[in-house]
Structure 1
Amino acid sequence: MNWNTRVTELLGIDYPIIQGGLAYLAYAELAAAVSEAGGLGQITAMSLDSPEALRAEIRKLREMTTKPFGVNFAIGQHGRPYKHMLDVALEEKVSVLSVTGGNPSPFFDHIGDADVKKLVLVAAKRQAVKAESLGADAVMVVGHEGGGHLGRDDIGTMVLVPQVVDAVNIPVIASGGIGDGRGWMAAHALGAEGIEMGTRFIATKECVHASMEYKQALLQTEETGTVVIKRSLGTPARALSGSWTDEILRMEAENADYDKLKDFISGGANRRFIHNGDEESGFGWAGQVAGMIKDVPTVAELIGRMVTQAEGIRRKWA
């Protein structure tokens, strides 16, 4: 079947499936596997500790695939500088850049007239309209079901996506709660022209930086097995429920400020679980789709069966 949409044409990919930024997990191995399977893989720049580390990761990825890939920039990390990292992506002539977690205006200003496709993750209709006005080539719309950082309005994907589709003229990519061919086709029914998946790609063989304990936790959780932390800081984010997140929520209920919470919500606490498997001393981001994850396939197997499932739905609809 033909899977061409404005998203596949824009990005030069076979299927309109984009791998999310996945802090501390989206490196060359996973990104290359997604791109090789026909989607768009991404490296997450701000998980790397220097511009040269990003340059090395980009070059490593290019040795693994000749297909298009992107570099994601999570720019809302408490004012952490990112333009020196962005310069590397531009120097390396990366074809797709995505931005999440902050005001994309200075990001776009720094890119200038460089020949690059710009994607913006948004969690509200007003953000999508702004992104289009700034020159975004497409918007990725994440609903409240998603993992990691979310919007403040608790609007689900099913409600948010069609409103954004009606509000902008650029392609819309649906994100949040999508983990198989059924979710993919539902996104198209809502008017989206592609999907972004994060949590589902963690439970794959090529997500080599994710600990087996983290992957096992994804396999064992139910749809109710996630919680939203950091609401009190104005930056809500969804993670797997556990003793560590229980403590964060307890502290938030007692009005703990950022200084008291920072060690509990830090990248270090995140890595202790997702890299080292220490669930008692850290946490892992995950969307509600974790309740649907029952195995750890290769990326090619995952995308292949998504395509088969989606094709079956298209035939049924026809």
Structure 2
Amino acid sequence: MLTTRFTELFGVCHPVVQGGMMFVGRAEVAAAVSNAGGLGIITALTQPTPDDLAAEIARCQALTDRPFGVNLTLTLSINPPPFAEYRQVIIDSGVPIVETAGSDPTVHIEHFKEHGLKVIHKCTSVAHALKAERIGADAVSIDGFECAGHPGEDDIPGLILIPATADQLTIPFVASGGFADGRGLAAALSLGADGINMGTRFMCTKESPVHQDIKQIIVGASEKDTRLIMRQLRNSMRVAKNTVSNEVIEILAAGGRFKDIKDLVAGVRGRRVFAEGDPELGVWTVGLSQGLIHDIPSAGELVRRIVADAESVIADLGRRVTVTPVNDVPVAAVNGAAR
């Protein structure tokens, strides 16, 4: 078992988090992850009303007695959801953990903390992570450029972002973006993270509500099959490569504005993709990690496999790599060859 600051703080067995995914973070997948010892996450805004969220939380509580959390993504829009009502439902439900994301979470974090909840805030930069720490977040999920959805505008991949975060942050953090297997978990731990957060990988599990045809498309796709859209609007979004995402890119490259693409990127169209299985119905989020996904296991099997594989990688590294002092200068020997 891999014990880290994150597992100890949040009362889970394994340092594996199922990310809050719009239209995907439902009770079945979250409970399956938590039952396997990871941390499952329900996505609040997947539910159309606060009452629907209360019912979804109750469904998850009936499926697991392990800790799980709720994601509350703070979107900026002309007609924002009733965040205060969603927040109160989370508090009243007795859920112990919440993941915030999006715009300034200060008011929300303060309210959650007043009621004893532990808060993870999702960030895309070291600066954002440090602010989350200052305003009271218990932990951070740091998203590298490889992630699905919104990777921020700095284009910093995990290989740099994770150790840069470890150098400055004092609270625990999990690494997000590009993780799909035990090798990734072992790498994240070696770079200073306390665990990993995965979205795309959990889309391809048996409990995921994503249509089977979309799961098979992800399994057959490579790391090259995503597009970054809305870069000109400084609202970059990593989505699947299809005719719709290509059209969005072409419109904006020709000088178009958000009003020219808003119908193409509407969330209701992405929801139809996941529900109906037609990949061309809209834009839908998926990360570079799809290039590492080759099967559709149960969520619990996936958590256990990733942890076991990470343990094997770590043990094998100790057998495969030795450090031999030569004239008081350590030289790494790999498979018997000095480098």
CA distance in 2: counterparts of 1:308 and 1:194, whole angstroms: 14
- Is 2:269 aligned against 1:272? no
Structure 2 match to 1:185: 186
Two-structure CA RMSD over aligned residues (Å): 1.2
* Partner secondary structure for residue 114 of structure 2: coil
Answer yes or no: is the 8 Å Cα contact 1:101–1:149 preserved in 2.
no
Superposed counterparts of 1:97-246, under 5 Å: 97-207=98-208, 209-246=209-246
Contact 1:83 1:110 in 2 (8 A): no
Deviation at 1:112, TM superposition (A): 4.8
Task: Among all aligned residue pairs of Structure 1 and Structure 2, give the percentage whose two residues are the same amino acid.
Answer: 37
Larger Rg: 2
Shift of 1:276: 1.2
Alignment check: 8 A CA contact 2:210 2:275 kept: yes
Structure 2 residue runs of 5 or longer lacking an equivalent are: 319-339
| Aligned match of 1:255 | 255
Q: Can you list the C-alpha shifts for 1:222-245, whole angstroms capped at 9, x where unaligned?
A: 111111112122211111101111
How far apart are 1:77 and its partner, in Å? 4.4
Q: Deviations over 1:155-178 (max 9, x none)?
A: 001100111111110012111100
Give 1:52-71 correspondences, 5 Å limit.
52-71=51-70
Cα offset, 1:108, TM superposition: 1.6
User: Counterpart in 1 of 2:29?
Assistant: 30
Paired residue total = 316
Tell me how far apart the structure 2 counterparts of residues 299 and 6 of structure 1 sit (CA, whole Å): 23
1:314 aligns with 2:314: yes
Task: Tell me if structure 2 keeps the 8 A contact 1:272–1:279.
Answer: no
Q: Which amino acid aligns with 2:75?
A: G
Report the AA paired with residue 90 of structure 2.
A
Output the CA distance in 2 between the equivalents of 1:265 and 1:107: 28
* 1:44 to 2:43 alignment: yes
What TM-score, normalized to structure 2? 0.91
SS of residue in 2 equivalent to 1:91: helix
Structure 2 letter corresponding to 1:253: A
Find the residue that maps to 1:231 and give its secondary structure: coil
Offset from partner CA, 1:190-231 (integer Å, 9 cap, x none): 000111000000000000x20122111101111111111121
Q: Which runs of 5+ in 1 are unaligned?
A: none
Partner of 1:274: helix, strand, or coil? helix
The Cα of 1:109 is off from its aligned counterpart by 3.2
- AA in 1 matched with 2:55: A
> How high is the TM-score relative to the length of structure 1?
0.97
How far does the alpha carbon of each residue in 1:21-45 deviate from its partner, in whole angstroms, 9 at most, with x for none? 1100100000000001110001000
C-alpha contact (below 8 Å) 1:171/1:193 kept by paired residues: yes
1:83 is aligned with what amino acid? Answer: A
Partner SS, residue 276 of structure 2: coil
